[in-house]
Amino acid sequence: MLVPVPEVQRCWGRFLLLQPDKNGNVHRHRFIKDDIFNRQLVQQIPVTEDGLVTFQTYCSAVYWLSNSSIDTKLGGLYQTLACSSLNKDSLELLLQALYPKESQGGVNQLSSLLMWEMDTKNQGFIDEDQFITWMKKLPQETLTALLHFSVIPHELRASSPQIPQRDLTTAQDSRKVTDNQLLKIAVEMSRQRRDWKLLANNLGFLETDSQTFERKHLEVQNQIVEMLQVWRSAAGQQDPVHVLQTALRDSGNTDINNEVFHLSF
């Protein structure tokens, strides 16, 4: 799965606000706010043994929120709300948090109504299929709006300057990344034992992508070459030289960047 570079850069900017440690990780408690829904959502985020959230995990979660289907998002919402099971008692706790000014009697009545509407099998709890079926009875426009999430807000996309297509084509022709440049990067990173996965991360790849390259090639140099070739093929209408130079600098490879693209300075 290849995440577009602008979205990775947006994620990285937001991730920096959480003040990651020197290894680029954030402890899970930094995501927690005084809100029951937030706490349950944070509990779904995979962490290391030390309770740390890596940027790759963060980026994967954000990408999932942005690109998953409605059914997949509803399934994730159910898992977040239910934790173990969604019965009347747990439903009442959620409703009390959602409507703190509502009386206990009102919460009890509403939970009974929801159980009656959703638990069509009379199981005493609401399963995931029942939850998704009930949610999809909402008007399509309402459901889509509720579940919509964009990595880059629409207003930011709209305010970005648009480059005329003719100028863009000319710029692309003069700013291509060559096979020799990719090979040079791979050779130098392999020789100097640099962390190529950090570069891959800055180019929009996830950990699972890096693992795929590792399985396909025994030599690190070949792993890097294919990663870079896949990235270049997917770069589309971006300025690939600028994107690659930025990724090299951000991943601690400024010296390699200067050596490979010395003609650009």
Residues 79 and 63 grouped into a single domain: no
CATH code for the domain of 245:
1.10.533.10
Q: Which of 48, 67, 86 is the last residue of a domain?
A: 67
Looking at the fold, whether 136 and 205 belong to one and the same domain comes out as no
Residue 26 lies in a domain: yes
Q: Are residues 85 and 62 in the same domain?
A: no
Asked whether residue 132 falls in the same domain as residue 76, the answer is yes
**Last residue within a domain, chosen from 147, 182, 214:** 147
Contact 65, 149 (CB under 8 A): yes
- Number of domains observed in the structure of the chain: 3
- Asked if the structure places residue 157 within a domain, the reply is no
| CA atoms of 251 and 188, how far apart (whole Å) | 14
pLDDT tens, residue order, the chain (265 aa) = 566 777 777 788 788 878 888 778 889 888 877 666 777 777 778 888 888 988 888 888 888 888 889 999 999 888 888 766 789 998 898 888 888 888 999 999 999 999 999 999 999 999 999 999 999 998 988 888 888 888 776 655 554 444 444 443 444 444 688 888 898 999 999 999 999 999 998 888 888 888 889 998 888 999 999 999 888 888 765 678 888 988 898 888 888 988 888 643 3
CA 180 to chain centre: 32
* Tokens encoding 221: 């140099």
Beta strands 52-54 and 86-87: pairing type? unpaired
SS3 for 63-132 is HHHHHCCHHHHHHHHHHHHHCCCEEHHHHHHHHHHHCCCCCHHHHHHHHHHHHHHHCCCCCCEECHHHHH
Burial (CB < 10 A; 0-12, 13-18, 19+), residue 186, is: buried
Residue 131 is part of which domain span? 70-147
On whether the pTM is more than 0.75, the answer is: no
